[in-house]
Structure 1
Amino acid sequence: MMNLSIRQLTTFREVMRAGSISQAARALGRTQPAVSAMIAALERELGFALFLRAQGKLTPTPEARFFLEETEEILGRLDQARQTLAGISKLESGHLRVACHPAASGVFLPGALTGFLAGRPDVRVSLMMRTSRVVEDLIASQQFDLGFAEAPAPRASIRQTDFDLDCICVLAAGHPLADRAAIAPADLDGADLAMLFSEHPITARTRAVFEAAGCRFRHRFELQTFLPGLRLVAAGLCAMICDPVTAHGHLAQAGPGAGLVMRPFRPRVGTRLAILEPAHRPQSRLAAAFRDHLAAEVTSMRDGLAARLAP
C-alpha cells in the first residue's frame, strides 16, 4: 500500500513545472540534494521511474505526465479544503438550518439573518416556518441547528434560552384611546377584540386579566396568527393584544403611523419566546455564533419596542 505525502506531491509538481531539480529547489527554498532525495523516495514508493536522467538532465516519463494530472487534482482539492476550513474557522462558510414560528418568519428572523450574514457570502441557510410545536419537535429530533418559537416545557432533547416579553395593545390610529400612555382592561371592557384561538396561552392570559379586573372579554375575531388582525384593527373593527414579534414586524415594515397605534397593556400579559438548540449533538461554531446574534436581536427588539410605545 502506497504511503505518499503532500510534501512529495508538491515537490514533484514543482520539478515538473521548473524542468530541473536545481530550479525546483530554489522555488521551494530547499537544497538540491533534498529535492533529489524526495523525488527518489517518491519513485520508490510508486514503483516506477518518473524521470529519465542523462547528462545531468531530467526528462519526464509518460508515467510522470499522467501522474502530474493526478497530482494537480489532489493538490487542488486540498487547497479547496484548506480554504473551506479557513472559512469555517472564521465563520465565513457553512450551512445554517433554522426553524421558526410564523410570527418571526416574515420580518424578525429574516432581519436577524440579514445582519448576521453581512460579509458571509458563502454561508447557506435553510429557513423553515412551522408552528411552535412543530419547531420544538424538529429541534428535539436534532434535525435543525436552531429554532425560534414560543417557549416549550423543558425537554431533555432541547437546550433553550427563554425570553419573557410583554404583549402589546394595538389600536386604530383614530381610536379614542390612542392618546393613552397605556391601555388597561377597563378601557376595553366589552370592546371587540382580535385574539388567537381560545386555547392559546396569550388569549388565556388576556382573558384572565380581564376577569380579574371584572371586565368583559369580547373575543370577536379568533385568529391562528396575529398578522391578519393588524388589518382588522386598522379598519376600526377591533382592538388587539398581540405578541411583540408581530408588533415589531409591523413597525419595521410600515414605520410609524400606517393606521395603527401601539401601547403597553397593563397589567402586563407576558409571552415567553425561546431559542431552541438540539441537546444531543455538538453545535457548529457557525450555529453558536448565530444563536448569540439572535439572542442579542431579541433583546434589541424588546428594548426598541419599549422606547417606541410611549405616545
Structure 2
Amino acid sequence: MNLSLRQLTVFREVMRSGSISQAAKTVARTQPAVSTMMATLEQELGFPLFLREHGKLTPTPEARYFLEEAEAILARLERTKQALSKINALETGRLRIASHPAASGLFMPRLLTGFLKDKREVEVSLIMRSSGVIEDLVASQQFDIGFAETPRPRASIDQVDFDLECVCVLRADDPLARKPLLSPDDLDGKPMAVLFEDHTTATQTEFAFAARGRSFNKRLELRTFMPGLQFVSDGFCYMICDMITAYSHILQGSQPSSLTMRRFIPRVGGSVSILTPAYVSQARLAQAFSAHLAEAIARMREETEAYLDAAGRG
C-alpha cells in the first residue's frame, strides 16, 4: 500500500464537502484529477470509499472510519509543521546555561531577559557554579553553554575567549578619583580587596606592586568581587576587579552610587570564555544565544571603556 499525504488531504475534502467538484475547488485541482486520485486511493486500499449513484457520492462505513485515521495523520503533520516552524524561528526549545558568579547576578539575567522576549515557549535552566565546575558540566554535555573564566584548552570543549581589562574601584569622594589613571604608586600601602591567593587577578595585582617596589596591603581576600563593592563603598579598601562586576555596577547607574572606577596600570587582565560541548552539534537555539552572548560581551567592553574614558576626563 502506497498512500500519499496529498491523497489523504483530497479525500478529507471530498468527505467534508460531499462533492468531487467542490473538493477540487478547495484543493485547487481539476475535477478529473480529484476523481482519478480517489479511484487510485480506493485501488490502494482494496475497498470502495464511496457509492456512486445518480452522480452523487455516498461514503461507505469504511470511508468514515478511514476519515478519522486520515484526519489524525494530517493533524499530526500540521502540529509537526508548526513545531518545526517554531524551531526554525527560535521560538521553542530548551537552553541549559551555567554561569560563573560574576555574571550571574545581573549581566546574565539581563541578557536572557532580552533574548527570551519573543520566545515564550523556550525553557531555560540557569545555574551559577564556579568556573572549574562549569568546565566539567559542559565537557560532559550536561549543559549547552557555559560562561566562565577562561580554562586551559580541553578536547571535549569548544571555547571562544575574551580578554577583558580589570578596573580599579574606589569611592567617588576619594582624592585619588581626581586622577584619570591609577597605579601601584597611588595605592602604595593602601588596603586592598583581592580574590583568593591563586586567582590570576590576585597574582597579577600583587606582581604589579612588587615590580614597582610598592607595598601591597591585602586587607580582604574574597571568593568573588561582588561583595568587595560594598567594602569599597564603606571605605574599607580599594579593589582591582573584573570588568563584568564593574559593568554590572555601571548598569545600575540610575541609582545613586558612592563608587567610581578608573583604569589601572600596568594592565591587569581577566579573560572569560563561552564554552560549548565539542563532540555534539549545537542546537540552533544554543547557537543563537552564544552569538547573542558574544555580542553582549563586545558591547560591555565598549560601554565600560567609554565610562572609564569619561571618568578619566573628570
Q: Same fold (TM over 0.5)?
A: yes
CA distance in 1, matches of 2:40, 2:121: 40
State the SS of the aligned residue for 1:119: coil
Shift of 1:51: 2.1
| CA–CA distance in structure 2, aligned partners of residues 61 and 192 of structure 1 | 92
Q: Distance in 1 between matches of 2:102 and 2:82?
A: 38
TM-score normalised by structure 1 residue count: 0.93
- Map of 2:207 onto structure 1: 208
For residue 24 of structure 1, what is the amino acid of its counterpart? A
Secondary structure at 2:147 match in 1:
strand
SS of the equivalent of 1:70 reads helix
One-letter identity of the residue aligned with 1:184: S
**Per-residue deviation at 1:290?**
2.1
Quote the RMSD (CA, aligned, Å): 1.8
1:251 alignment counterpart: 250
Q: Per-residue displacement from partner, 1:102-134 (whole Å, max 9, x unpaired)?
A: 111121122222333343333332222211111
Q: What is the match of residue 122 of structure 1?
A: 121
Structure 1 unaligned spans of 5+:
none
The AA in structure 2 aligned to 1:18 is S
Counterpart of 2:152 in structure 1 is 153
| Offset, 1:206 | 0.9
Q: How far does the alpha carbon of each residue in 1:186-241 deviate from its partner, in whole angstroms, 9 at most, with x for none?
A: 22222222211111111111111111111222222221111111111111111111
Residue 274 of structure 1 corresponds to 273
Aligned residues of 1:173 and 1:257 also touching (Cα < 8 A): no
For the residues of structure 2 that align with 1:52 and 1:151, how far apart are their CA atoms?
Answer: 74
Q: Which moved more, 1:14-23 or 1:33-42?
A: 33-42
SS of aligned partner of 1:153: coil
How far is 1:59 from its partner? 1.6
Q: Which amino acid aligns with 2:54?
A: Q
Secondary structure of 1:177 counterpart: helix
Aligned residues: 310
Corresponding position of 2:22: 23
Report whether the alignment pairs 1:82 with 2:81: yes
- Determine the C-alpha separation between the residues in 1 that align with 2:101 and 2:44: 61
Measure the CA separation in 1 of the matches of 2:168 and 2:61: 80
1:135 aligns to what SS in structure 2?
helix
Q: Equivalent residue for 1:59?
A: 58
Amino acid at match of 2:80: A
**Structure 2: gaps spanning 5 or more residues:** none
2:185 counterpart residue number: 186
Normalised TM-score (structure 2): 0.92
C-alpha displacement of 1:88: 2.4
* 1:91 Cα offset (Å): 3.1
Q: Which amino acid aligns with 1:90?
A: A
How far the C-alpha of 1:256 sits from its partner, in A, is 6.6
Deviation at 1:292, TM superposition (A): 1.9
SS of 1:52's equivalent?
strand
Could you tell me how far apart the structure 2 residues matched to 1:18 and 1:104 are?
A: 60
SS of the counterpart of 1:189?
coil
Give, in whole Å, the separation in 1 of the partners of 2:164 and 2:254: 21
Q: Work out the CA distance in 2 between the residues paired with 1:46 and 1:237.
A: 86
Q: 2: CA distance between counterparts of 1:130 and 1:232?
A: 23
- How far off its partner does 1:257 sit? 4.6
Percent of matched pairs sharing the same residue: 58
1:94 aligns with 2:88: no
Aligned position for 1:236: 235
Q: Higher mean Cα deviation, 210-219 or 56-65? A: 56-65
Q: Give the letter aligned to residue 236 of structure 2.
A: L
CA contact (8 A) 1:197 1:203 kept: yes
1:123-164 CA distance string (max 9 Å, x none): 332222211111111221223222111000111111111111
Q: Hey, what's the Cα distance between the residues in 2 that align with 1:71 and 1:230?
A: 65
